[in-house]
Chain A
Amino acid sequence: NAGVIQTPRHKVTGKGQEATLWCEPISGHSAVFWYRQTIVQGLEFLTYFRNQAPIDDSGMPKERFSAQMPNQSHSTLKIQSTQPQDSAVYLCASSLDRLGPPQDTQYFGPGTRLLVL
């Protein structure tokens, strides 16, 4: 079984450009999560979807960031007008359900390393 797939693995953008990050969850998993990891802030929750519906986006910056899950096989995180402080590793995870472990266990993709110059 393939794990969570994230593309691209690395992305370099210029300040002000748009960046779109892709995540393909493990087949059969109903929950998808996005996290951001930086040296300064550590791991931060951004948003999560359950059965493609947005459930909790409390960690998403209010401006420039948006996430979608148009079908059960992929989710996207879009950053408009990227800024240097958006540079981070963006991690996507999926899990079977929210009924508690082990179903609740999140499995992570390799991450997308975003660098905004």
Chain B
Amino acid sequence: AQKVTQVQSTGSSQWGEVTLHCSYETSEYFYVILWYKQLFSGEMVFLIYQTSFDTQNQRNSRYSVVFQKSLKSISLVISASQPEDSGTYFCALSEPHSNYQLIWGSGTKLIIKP
């Protein structure tokens, strides 16, 4: 069974708000969810993280998350989307018992049309 689950693809038009969903399985009290964007070149770029101890949703520039801890769900929200936001977005789970190695979702391919 997938430990981290993402939808395969989605799209939007420029300037819209985009929401990418991620659900995960964990029995840890403390864990971290990280979001990365993979460019078409293959480069992986870190975007934002949320820990299970954070009481507020995190924000970093145009990126923010909606963390629903009880549902084991976290969404990445991209505001004022641009065509250059197109790429594949990965959600990753990091847990202490596995030495914080990243457990990856399968990624969501996002296309932003001008």
Contact = CB atoms under 8 A, between A and B. Distances in A.
B9 to A, nearest CB: 14
Contact of A110 (B34, B42, B103): B42
A104 B36 contact: no
Interface stretch (A11-19, A42-50, A61-69, A77-85): A42-50
B42 A113 contact: yes
Given A100-B32, A101-B51, A105-B34, A45 B102 contact: yes
Interface of A: 33, 35, 42-45, 48, 55-56, 58-59, 89, 91, 93, 98, 100-102, 104-111, 113
Contacts, number: 59
Given A108-B44, A110-B41, A56 B106 contact: no
Interface string B38-63: 00011111100101000000000000
